[in-house]
Structure 1
Amino acid sequence: MKKTSLATDLAYVAVFTALIIVLAFVSIPVGAAGVPIVMQNAAIILAGLVLGGRRGLYVGLLFLILGLALPVLAGGGTTLRALAGPTAGYIVGYVLAPAVAGLIAYRAPRNKGGMAITLIVAAIAGLAVQYVCGSIGLMLRSGLELAPAFAAQIPFLVPDSAKIVIAIIIALGVHAAFPDLIARKKRTV
């Protein structure tokens, strides 16, 4: 097993961050809360599924930092503007979701069935983190109560589920093609 280098980690993080930024061009406005259906939230989870928790976290942080000055969000918004509005929680979720999804995904067994089940759980956990953070943001920034804030997620369940299925399929393909991407630490006794 070979160790990954800092340059390799930086390249992975940069590529996934660029992918997430490019996906800002895919946006469908939905609902009164002003939160669009975007591909970015699935790509953020895909980063965690493929890269693991640590590198997934770095993708989320780099995305957030770049977005402070550049229009990286759907509709040409900056993360600075989003952090000041009702979508602030989702931006926080973009940082935490790939870390959570990646921490779970990188515990997957090498067999196909176990890998698939683990990636499904990881992706659902990542999406749940986004929804919880988004709901908290709606409560804090829009003054919604708990139930309406969580109810605001309902229009996104079906499209987000479809996007997550695609992310899982992509992650399974990547891990099948590059089985050493998930570095297994040798146990010493």
Structure 2
Amino acid sequence: MSTSISSSQHSGSPATTDIAYVAVFTALVIVLGFVSVPVGALGVPIVLQNTALILAAMVLGPRRGFFVAALFLLVGFVFPVLAGGRTTYFSLSSPTVGYVLSYLIAVPVAGFIAARGADKRRSAQVALFTLAGILGLALQYLCGAAGMVLRAGLDVPAALAAQLPFIPTDVLEMAVMVAVALGVHSAFPGLLRGERS
């Protein structure tokens, strides 16, 4: 099976395969939305969805990763699939707006960086995936802080300080996501080749 998947990647992923990947990862992100711990006065939750979306980027690359984020948010307009049982509409009108919008930016950026490691040696791949995770999280934090400034009336220092409770858990989560992504690419080494352009 690994050989057949790798071969299909060399010839370009069929649309049906891309749709299947996007659907599976979107479902994973939705399921992880049930894990949510509100923190701080604004009740912004510590979640697994944000790092799971970066995982999608590292596994699927920028294009398919973006589709996962977009589909996830589209589903969220109909069903309360965002962390804490929220809808996309609710989140866009709350202090979490920056985090929600960041998915459409952070995911393709992280995916682009991860895709550069498709054919690299293991050490370079680890470095690029780690960089993808760090930059993806940083973009989420920056956009999240901007949302708090706009919707919660915080000044910039206070909005940036509000990110601090998330850093330890997000770093731990991201370390796990990087390890998972590396494991997936060890099993299916051609998975990112079509995503490097």
Normalised by the length of structure 2, the TM-score is 0.91
Report the CA distance between 1:184 and its aligned residue: 5.9
Percent of residue pairs identical: 51
In 2, Cα distance between equivalents of 1:146 and 1:19 = 33
**TM-superposition CA deviations, 1:14-50 (whole Å, max 9, x none):** 1111000000111111111211111101101000000
Instruction: Provide the rounded CA distance (Å) in 2 between the counterparts of 1:172 and 1:20.
Output: 19
**AA matched with 1:3:** G
Q: Is the 8 A contact 1:64 1:95 kept in 2?
A: no
**Matched residue, 1:86:** 95
- 8 Å CA contact 1:33–1:152 kept in 2: the answer is no
Residue 5 of structure 1 is matched in structure 2 by 14
- Do residues 161 (structure 1) and 168 (structure 2) align? no
Alignment map for 1:95-106 (pairs within 5 Å): 95-106=104-115
Instruction: Report if aligned partners of 1:24, 1:72 keep a CA contact under 8 Å in 2.
Output: yes
Cα deviation per residue 1:66-114 (whole Å; 9 max; x = unaligned)?
Answer: 1011111122110110000100000001222211110000011421101
Q: Within 5 Å, give how 1:99-114 maps onto structure 2.
A: 99-108=108-117, 109-114=119-124
Structure 2 spans left out of the alignment, 5+ residues: 1-9
Higher relative contact order (CA 8 A, sep 6+): 2
Gapped runs of 5+ residues in structure 1? Answer: none
The one-letter code sitting in structure 1 at the alignment partner of 2:146 is: I
Q: Distance in 2 between matches of 1:139 and 1:65?
A: 25
Q: Is the 8 A contact 2:26 2:71 kept in 1?
A: yes
Q: Which moves more between the two structures, 91-100 or 76-85?
A: 91-100
Matched, 1:69 2:98: no
1:183 aligns with 2:159: no
Deviating above 4 A after TM superposition, structure 1's stretches of 4 or more consecutive aligned residues are: none
CA gap 1:37/1:121 in 2 versus in 1, 3 angstroms: same
Q: Choose which of 96, 120, 143 in structure 1 pairs with 2:153.
A: 143
State whether residues 91 and 100 of structure 2, in contact with CA within 8 Å, keep that contact through their aligned partners in structure 1.
yes
Distance 1:97 1:47 in 2: 11
Instruction: Give me the whole-angstrom Cα distance separating, in 1, the residues matched to 2:195 and 2:140.
Output: 29
Asked if 1:49 corresponds to 2:34, the answer is no
The CA RMSD over aligned residues, in Å, is 1.6
- Between the two proteins, the alignment pairs up a number of residues equal to 187
